[in-house]
Amino acid sequence: MSTAASNVLEVKGLTKRFGGTTALDHADWSLAKGEIHAIAGENGAGKSTLCKMLAGAIVPSEGSITIDGKTFSKLNPAEAKRNGIVMIYQEFNLVPELPIYENIFLGKEITKFGVNVDKAAMIKKSDELFHQMGVKVDSRKIIADISVAYCQLVEIAKALMENAKILIMDEPTAPLTNQEVGILFEIIGRLKERGITIVYISHRMEEIFELSDRVTIMRDGKIITTREIGDIDQKEIISLMVGHELGMDFPVRGKTERSAEPVLSVRNLTTDKIRDISFDLYGGEILGLAGLVGAGRTEIVRAIFGADKIKSGEIYLRGKKTDKLSIHKAISKKIGLIPEDRKRQGVHLELPILHNMTLLQLDRISRLMTINPKKERAGADEFVKKLRIKMGKLSDNASSLSGGNQQKIVLAKWLANEPDILFFDEPTRGIDVGAKAEIYELMDELRSQGKAVIMISSEMPEVLGMCDRILVLYEGNMMGEVIGETATQDDVMTLASGLKLEK
Ligand SMILES: Nc1ncnc2c1ncn2[C@@H]1O[C@H](COP(=O)(O)OP(=O)(O)OP(=O)(O)O)[C@@H](O)[C@H]1O
Ligand SMILES: [Mg+2]
């Protein structure tokens, strides 16, 4: 299928070094016209680095990129776009204060008589782009007011505006709900029909199999292999990614000693999004919150942490009634929250990795206002090992980390504070399969230390595999509780769809 003639892009010996790190090591690779080409690999394998060089965002150290017969030793973003390569980054590239249509036309505004900006024409053209994608979007909306899913649609519309021939998407589904993923896949299908080549980076195996024609597997900066999707299975992809066979088993649940009294109790909690929610959380257990996206799982956490206004209801902490918590108060009360949107709420890109990891516990490691660097470093080293954080030096800025490794830093930051109660909101999203297992083990360790853990996850096997009890929500209401060890996916789905269990 991929004869040289049908290739839209070829890469030879492409290499990128960042100081001592070789992020991409002499890659030879090609893309066929109109294919959907997935890239799989662990966090830090070099997926984003490869793609960023194609899009002109970073300059190669060695090697060449050939697009439609033209060979480049490096590209700048404008050249990449002119040659039809557009990349949608893990972080979007939109101006929050501006409406959708202005974002689409940023720097290429349509003008009337060459002077006045023709707003109506830009709105009309934007609407046309969304129409081509098969979605309805009001292009006058301000970016800050739309969801991440819509931001992504805007990025795709921008790419269509640029006449993209090769569209690169870096983990596009990570922030999307299942329904939104469905819409995205339809759009990708339509782009493919129009002959656009799609490069698709993802950690979700099911998506790779559902969507792609070919898959490239990367490990440690090297391209290991490229295969037709029909010629490989999930197990082989994972073992090629990790470099050895990997069992995806959950830690065996030990006999947990649950604390006699609950450490956190919620009674009749009601906000705009949730109604009459009551539950108890004990030390030594992992309590799951399941439900479809929008069912109110994150909203419970937001209410407890004071992000959403509580209309009625009470929160008890270790038996004592408490006002809503602020993040600040929570930290001093040894409560941790690993947020869903870790990129926006967790990482300080311009600070060293070390400080990112120790931000919350400066009082503990400092004595008389001076930080004890040895202690700070020892704690950090431990988490680097435990979470398999792939990085250069602890003194490097967090911006030097791959997306998944940035997420691990946020995890480390909260764990280093040694919380007694810990909320994990989608803890394994964007995390590669190998490191997922490490996170499961870490959660299990917290449980056996008697800590209280709440886990929110959209991945059903993960919820069933990890949680002792699971509370299932539907449209802001508590539908019921099931036991992790005995419940089935069906039980949880039934409750999550607003139905009762027949028992
Ligand atoms: N600006 C930078 N400075 C220094 N090192 C960098 C920089 N960007 C990337 N790296 C390093 O290059 C390697 C590859 O990173 P890359 O972002 O390509 O990984 P990835 O495969 O996209 O991972 P993820 O799945 O976590 O997004 C990593 O070790 C990373 O730390
Ligand atoms: Mg990446």
Mutation probe of ligand 1 site: the residue of 15, 16, 21, 50 with most atoms within 8 A of C-beta: 21
Least confident of 68-77, 126-135, 177-186, 198-207: 177-186
Q: Which of 256, 259, 236 is nearest to 246 (CA)?
A: 236
Which ligand 1 atom is the nearest neighbour of the CA of 392? 31
Please tell me the residue having the least CA distance from ligand 1 atom 13: 23
* Nearest bound ligand to the CA of residue 409: 1
Query: In the predicted model, is pLDDT for residue 291 greater than 50?
Result: yes
Report if pTM > 0.75: yes
Q: Which of 120-129, 300-309, 371-380 has the highest mean pLDDT?
A: 120-129
Please tell me the residue having the least CA distance from ligand 1 atom 31: 401
Quote the pLDDT of residue 5. 59
User: How far out from the chain centre does Cα 463 lie?
Assistant: 18
CB 291 within 8 A of CB 496: yes
Helices and strands: H and E segment counts in the chain: 18, 24
Q: How far is the CA of 61 from the centre of ligand 1 (A)?
A: 15
- Tell me the mean pLDDT in the region 454-481: 92
Distance from C-alpha of 267 to C-alpha of 283, rounded to nearest angstrom: 18
Q: Where are the alpha helices (DSSP H) in 391-459?
A: 403-416, 433-448
* Nearest bound ligand to the CA of residue 25: 1
Which pair of tokens denotes residue 174?
A: 């990570």
Q: What band does 101 get if pLDDT is binned at 50, 70 and 90?
A: very high
Query: In the predicted model, is pLDDT for residue 361 greater than 60?
Result: yes
Q: How far is the CA of 389 from the centre of ligand 1 (A)?
A: 11
Query: In the predicted model, is pLDDT for residue 254 greater than 70?
Result: no
Please tell me the residue having the least CA distance from ligand 1 atom 12: 23
Q: How far is the CA of 90 from the centre of ligand 2 (A)?
A: 7
Q: How far is the CA of 48 from the centre of ligand 2 (A)?
A: 4
Which ligand 1 atom is the nearest neighbour of the CA of 404? 26
Percent of the chain with pLDDT strictly greater than 90? 50
Q: Spell out a b/e string for 445-463, using b for 16 or more CB atoms within 10 Å of the CB, else e.
A: ebbeebbbbbbbbbebebb
Please tell me the residue having the least CA distance from ligand 1 atom 17: 402
CB 24 within 8 A of CB 14: yes
Query: In the predicted model, is pLDDT for residue 221 greater than 90?
Result: yes
Output 426 or 67, whichever has higher pLDDT: 67
Quote the pLDDT of residue 404. 83
What is the pairing mode between strands 421-425 and 335-338? parallel
The shares of helix, strand and coil residues in the chain, as percent rounded to the nearest 5, are 35, 25, 35
| Degrees, nearest 5: CA angle 220-87-394 | 40
Q: How far is the CA of 47 from the centre of ligand 1 (A)?
A: 8
Q: What band does 2 get if pLDDT is binned at 50, 70 and 90?
A: very low
Domains assigned to the chain: 4-242 (3.40.50.300), 262-334+420-431+450-497 (3.40.50.300), 341-418 (no CATH)
Distance from C-alpha of 149 to C-alpha of 137, rounded to nearest angstrom: 11
DSSP class of residue 189?
H
Q: How far is the CA of 450 from the centre of ligand 2 (A)?
A: 35
Which pair of tokens denotes residue 188?
A: 């990708």
Distance from C-alpha of 385 to C-alpha of 340, rounded to nearest angstrom: 23
* Nearest bound ligand to the CA of residue 24: 1
- Tell me the mean pLDDT in the region 365-379: 63
* Nearest bound ligand to the CA of residue 390: 1
Distance from C-alpha of 326 to C-alpha of 25, rounded to nearest angstrom: 46
Residue type at 159 in one-letter notation: A
Output 447 or 371, whichever has higher pLDDT: 447
Q: How far is the CA of 153 from the centre of ligand 1 (A)?
A: 25
Q: Which of 173-187, 270-284, 455-469 has the highest mean pLDDT?
A: 270-284
Q: What band does 195 get if pLDDT is binned at 50, 70 and 90?
A: very high
Q: What band does 3 get if pLDDT is binned at 50, 70 and 90?
A: very low
- Tell me the mean pLDDT in the region 63-87: 95
Quote the pLDDT of residue 87. 94
Output 362 or 452, whichever has higher pLDDT: 452
Helical (H) or strand (E) element with 330: helix 327-332
Q: Which of 214, 208, 213, 241 is nearest to 227 (CA)?
A: 214
Q: What band does 1 get if pLDDT is binned at 50, 70 and 90?
A: very low
Distance from C-alpha of 411 to C-alpha of 409, rounded to nearest angstrom: 5
* Nearest bound ligand to the CA of residue 41: 1
Q: How far is the CA of 399 from the centre of ligand 1 (A)?
A: 9
Query: In the predicted model, is pLDDT for residue 205 greater than 60?
Result: yes
Q: Which residues contact 256 (CB under 8 A, 6 or more apart)?
A: 284, 285, 447, 448, 468
Q: How far is the CA of 139 from the centre of ligand 2 (A)?
A: 29
- Tell me the mean pLDDT in the region 115-142: 89
Quote the pLDDT of residue 482. 95
CB 433 within 8 A of CB 393: no
Q: How far is the CA of 32 from the centre of ligand 2 (A)?
A: 22
Which ligand 1 atom is the nearest neighbour of the CA of 390? 29
Pocket of ligand 1 (CB under 6 A): 18, 21, 23, 41, 43-49, 390-392, 400-405
Mutation probe of ligand 1 site: the residue of 168, 202, 400 with most atoms within 8 A of C-beta: 400
Please tell me the residue having the least CA distance from ligand 1 atom 5: 400
- Tell me the mean pLDDT in the region 144-152: 83
Q: What is the pLDDT of residues 22-67, one digit of tens each?
A: 999 999 999 999 999 999 998 899 999 999 999 999 999 999 999 9
Which pair of tokens denotes residue 482?
A: 């099931």
Distance from C-alpha of 359 to C-alpha of 14, rounded to nearest angstrom: 37
Distance from C-alpha of 237 to C-alpha of 227, rounded to nearest angstrom: 10
* Owner of token pair 């911006």: 399
Residue 230 exposed, middle or buried by CB count within 10 Å (0-12, 13-18, 19+): exposed
In terms of phi and psi (left: phi > 0; alpha: psi -120 to 50; beta: otherwise), the region of 230 is alpha
Q: Which of 68, 55, 30 is nearest to 226 (CA)?
A: 30
Cα dihedral 135, 138, 140, 143 sign:
negative
Which ligand 1 atom is the nearest neighbour of the CA of 16? 12
Q: Within a 10 A sphere around the Cβ of 391, how many other Cβ atoms?
A: 18
Cα dihedral 267, 272, 275, 280 sign:
negative
Q: What is the pLDDT of residues 302-350, one digit of tens each?
A: 888 888 889 999 999 999 998 777 777 888 888 888 877 666 667 888 8
* R_g (Cα) of the chain, nearest Å: 24
Q: Where are the alpha helices (DSSP H) in 29-138?
A: 47-54, 77-82, 100-104, 119-133
Q: What is the mean pLDDT of the chain?
A: 87
Which ligand 1 atom is the nearest neighbour of the CA of 402? 17
Q: In Å, how far are 112, 127, 161 from 99, measured between CA atoms? A: 19, 13, 16
